[in-house]
Amino acid sequence: QRPSRPPRRTSLRSVSPPLSPSTMGAARNLSDPDVEDDEEMSARHKRITPKVLKQVSKEQQLYATASLNDKLYLHYRGYNRIEGLDEWTGLKALWLEGNGFDKIEGLDKLANLRCVYLQQNCIRKIENLQCCPELSSLQISNNMLPRIEGLSGLRHLSTLQIANNHLITADDIRHLLEMPALTVLDLQNNRLEEPEVIEVFEGMPQLAVLQCQGNPFISKVTSYRKTVVSRCKSLSYLDDRPIFDEERMATEAWVVGGLPAEREERRRQRTEKDAAHRKNLEYMLNITRKGREEKEKKEAERAARIAAGEEVDDTPPPFFHAKDDEKDKAKDEPTEKDIYDKALRALQAKKAALLAKKKKEAQAAAAAASAAAPVECAADDELPGVQTKTHGTTAPSGSADGADDGRAFEAAASFAGSRPGHVFKLGSKGLGYYSDGPAKAKAAEKAAAEKVAAASEGVPPPLSARELMAQQGAAEPDVAPQFAGKSAQELVEEVGGGAAAEAEAGDGVVAGSAADLDELD
């Protein structure tokens, strides 16, 4: 029974009769529904149950699905049996130290296990680990193991820590020869007494780290460290310090010629080190001396120039740095933005050239169509000031052709309607009706005859361009001053751009076809 606490000072009104142990237990049972399980656990040995694993998963923030977890901590909990881990098939690291296990079991389903920590238990035999073929590290120190066994099937086992156990003879550790991949071995604080254990270490081809401190056989081996280093060729770390090349060479000399040979080897090593150090020092002194001589030479040349009256440039040379050179190279190289802008300009120039070509072709087609179409236009339908194109030649309407052909001229202040064989214009004799020449007179008479014939047959006569525009209410067209005196071909070349667009495109860009223009559109 627990010692009762001293009663608190209370008033008489707050005093109540003390509860008996059975009454207190009943009260606990009423308040906590899981108290029976807790009492049962405390009365017996603790076990790893599904409920315990579920609670551990919550504490360690693991996955609810057991097979998804690759690590599990069950250390220092007082369990006495390894069990309940069949669903944890994905485990790669398992911590089981600090419990009361006396047997290795319950790991049959953990085929992916890499690391197992079983130190500080009561294990008496290494067994049931063949089901973990991927095991690479086994920590089983501080147990009661009398020998090493049951590890021959673990081909990937590279680290074995088996310190503070009950190993005594060389036969107790001879099983290590069946583990060729073992590189790290910890045998500290065992009871190994026979010097023959060194033969076992010598037979391990990949042994790199060996710790044997605290074993009785060390005092029985003459020159223990030299002996182990000379016989274990792959060893790089022994007990408390590493093994360097100088120590290995001195040890090999000791094996061949004893202590004098070792001393001679160490003397040779010191001589080589001193020679290398002296060589480096001389090299640095030589560089310093050359720099001083160059400086003195430059100062002497400068003094001679000053004495001769020459100008001396005292500007210090620029400090060269590899990083600055790299920056300059980076500046010279085009950036991604420059490449993109160049390609965009080329594309825009090509598009402009294609547009100009397409427009030029359209205008040429329209001009060809208008030239091929039959146009019957009377002389009185011509507008003043407008250039007309006939058979590839142009003639201004304001010229004085036919003004001096001897035909009549009738002055008129304004246009009073069309007259056959005459044209209303401002000529050499002023504003009025001028004769249009014999050919045009015949054409006008023919047109007049056709009008009369059409009128007699009831067909309306064809309207002239001026009459049609007047009927539609359109204003008389005027020619812009920048287009006056220019042919249609010249206007097309001026508006389209022609070769100028191709020149603007730059190198490697040529005007494409209409299909290319459609693709760009």
User: pLDDT digit of tens for each residue in the chain (521 aa)?
Assistant: 444 554 444 443 333 444 444 434 433 443 444 434 543 454 467 899 999 999 999 999 999 999 999 999 999 999 999 999 999 999 999 999 999 999 999 999 999 999 999 999 999 999 999 999 999 999 999 999 999 999 998 999 999 999 999 999 999 999 999 998 999 999 999 999 999 999 999 999 999 999 999 999 999 999 999 999 999 999 999 999 999 999 999 999 999 999 999 999 999 999 999 999 999 999 999 999 999 999 999 888 888 888 888 877 766 666 555 556 666 666 677 888 888 888 899 999 999 999 999 999 988 888 888 776 544 443 344 444 434 333 333 333 444 444 344 446 888 888 888 877 788 888 878 888 887 766 566 666 777 777 766 666 665 655 555 565 555 554 444 445 555 555 555 554 554 444 444 444 444 444 445 555 555 55
Asked if residues 203 and 232 have their Cβ atoms less than 8 Å apart, the reply is: no
Cα atoms found within 13 Å of the Cα of residue 35, Cβ hemisphere only: 10
Among residues 169, 165, 116, which one has the least CA distance to residue 143? 165
Domain covering 42-256, topology: 3.80.10
Where do the structural domains in the chain lie, given as residue ranges? 42-256, 257-306
Residue 141 carries which side chain, given as an amino acid letter? S
Distance CA 117, CA 95 (A): 5
Read off the pTM: 0.52
Asked if residues 91 and 116 have their Cβ atoms less than 8 Å apart, the reply is: no
Distance CA 495, CA 139 (A): 91
Distance CA 351, CA 520 (A): 7
Distance CA 445, CA 397 (A): 21
